[in-house]
Amino acid sequence: MAGVNGSWDSFALLLIDVQQDFMTQEMALAFPAYESNVTALLDLCRRENMDIVHLRASFQPDRSDWMAKYHFLGRIPCVDGTPGAALLDCAVEQPGETVIVKHSFDGFMNPCLQQYLDDRNKRYLLVAGLVTSVCVLLTAATAAQKGYLVAVVEDCCADKPEAHWHTLDRYPFIFDRTTPGQIVSSREQWLANLARIGER
């Protein structure tokens, strides 16, 4: 991965699965500010000209791309053409923003994601979306193992509350934690961290 510069060029936001099937009523009640937080995050990243990648779950009704376990469960979220696959209003992409479809929990299972990031010399990933303990965690963990630095935007994620907070508290060796209000002030430290890695 390429060197660090003084802007947001080394950074990208991965916004994961902000779709109807993943935002349960329990989660909406537990995290009532979720959609406004995601709106604030996207507004910030767009204002700062940070790359935004929208990762979306999508599965065919004929089960041809379902993960194996779901064949036994008899159902899977985000089947194409169903209301559950639709986006929450806060997560609609703007022209020019990249959308990558995935048929898995981990966004990196689609090689297009790493290809996109590497082609643009991304080294630090902000990760947000649904749900914290599954697709957010597994995508963040793979990113860390592939050599990216990662920060989870904690108030732009949601899950069953216990699972949400457990995930955020349990894995400081995988990712840092941030909020939309902390991102700009954290940039210099994040760049310094990238520079330390580059000195090796």
Structural domain range at position 58:
11-198
Average pLDDT over residues 63-70: 97
Q: Are 175 and 127 in contact (CB under 8 A)?
A: yes
CA dist 68 → 48, 71, 107 (Å)? 40, 6, 17
In angstroms, the CA 2 to CA 81 distance is 40
Other beta carbons within 10 angstroms of residue 22's beta carbon come to: 21
Report the predicted TM-score, pTM, of the whole model to 2 decimal places.
Answer: 0.95
For residue 5, is it within any domain? Answer: no
Look at the alpha carbons of 165, 147, 66, 14 in this order and tell me if their dihedral is positive or negative. positive
Which amino acid, one-letter code, is at 112? C
How confident is the model at residue 199, as a pLDDT?
Answer: 65
For residue 87, is it within any domain? Answer: yes
pLDDT tens-digit readout, 84-140: 999 999 999 999 999 999 999 999 999 999 999 999 999 999 999 999 999 999 999
CA dist 117 → 33, 97, 196 (Å)? 30, 13, 20
For residue 4, is it within any domain? Answer: no
CATH code: domain of residue 183: 3.40.50.850
Q: Tell me the two tokens of residue 22.
A: 């993943």
**Number of domains within the chain:** 1
